[in-house]
Amino acid sequence: MVGLTSLPGHVGDKPAIQSRQNPFPRLDLQAPPTSPRAFGRLVRPFLFTVGFTGSSFAAASIWQYETLQSRVRSFFDEAKADWMEKLRPQKRGDARKEVNQWWNSLSEGQKTVTGIVVINFLVFCCWRIPSLQRVMIRYFTANPASKVLCAPMILSTFSHFSFFHLATNMYVLWSFSSSAVSILGREQFMAVYLSAGVISSFFSYVCKTLTGRFGPSLGASGAIMTVLAAVCTKMPEAKLAIVFLPMFTFTATHALKAIVAIDTAGLVLGWKIFDHAAHLGGAAFGVWYMLTGHELIWRKRESLVKLWHELRTRGRGG
């Protein structure tokens, strides 16, 4: 049973930036264009989304190939290291040993997302440094009216201003990581997660451009919604529960439908607390990937892996 919490991820905080109590410094954002709904400004974000997604899956394919190669080479080295570890006297209070024991107790999925959690926490700490505020707003919040359009689409996925926002998103990611990585594998999971961050940001850009409701967004929940949707699509009958109400259980399918319904209502009614378009974009990508994308993208990576193998072999021979 997996704990399920709400996903206050991409927070649309345009009103907060205009507030007098706003902790952010003012930036000279480009004024929202008025001619024909500024769709021309979405060309570069669209190309960035396609290029980044393709690069993520290509890198993941090569990463998986190199991982398999390294496992073969390191088999005997690991056996030797284990033998030497048994011969070495054990030290009491060995901090390194305790860390290794904790690390080995984690699932493969938890190990995979640990780096993501650490990066998110470091970015959160950067928000606390006054001298970095302008840089953080410019590059770590996604806004189609900003002068910087592409880099924030991925950087904002690792950005949280409030601790509650950070803790909630990371808890949900941690809760679903084991199931997601067991389904996709470590390399494919990372490609899906990173691509989801950019794709959900692009959905947000399109929606804001359509409605004219421009404003910065940040948070990991667009990508987390992809993870959640992928798991719920693959395991529709899995039982979930709200972390503070464990006595009430429901299926993964019902959970996904409820979240999508709430975000759809928020998008239609213009709720401004969350970036509902990013949530819906992430969910749509997760469902699509499990139903179609996996076969269309991941299972057709053999040609790239063969090309990489040939280049690698030539380089070694040379």
Write the CA distances from 280 to 6, 123, 151, 239, 286, integer angstroms.
14, 25, 21, 22, 10
Contact (CB, 8 A) for 9 and 142: no
Burial-class residue 155 by CB neighbours within 10 Å (0-12, 13-18, 19+). buried
For 111, the enclosing helix (H) or strand (E) is: helix 108-127
For 3, the enclosing helix (H) or strand (E) is: strand 2-4
For 285, the enclosing helix (H) or strand (E) is: helix 276-288
Annotated active-site residue in 221, 276, 294, 309: 221
Residues 6 or more apart in contact with residue 198 via CB below 8 angstroms: 48, 49, 52, 53, 153, 154, 157
Annotated active-site residue in 279, 294, 303, 309: 279
Q: The dihedral of CA 63, 154, 195, 35: what is its sign?
A: negative
Neighbours of 185 (CB within 10 A): 17
Neighbours of 126 (CB within 10 A): 14
Does 195 qualify as catalytic in the annotation?
no
Residues 6 or more apart in contact with residue 216 via CB below 8 angstroms: 12, 13, 14, 17, 137, 141, 142, 143, 146
Long-range contacts of 104-107 (CB under 8 A, 24+ apart): 107/177, 107/178, 107/181, 107/182
Does 160 qualify as catalytic in the annotation?
no
Where in the sequence numbering do the catalytic residues fall? 221, 279
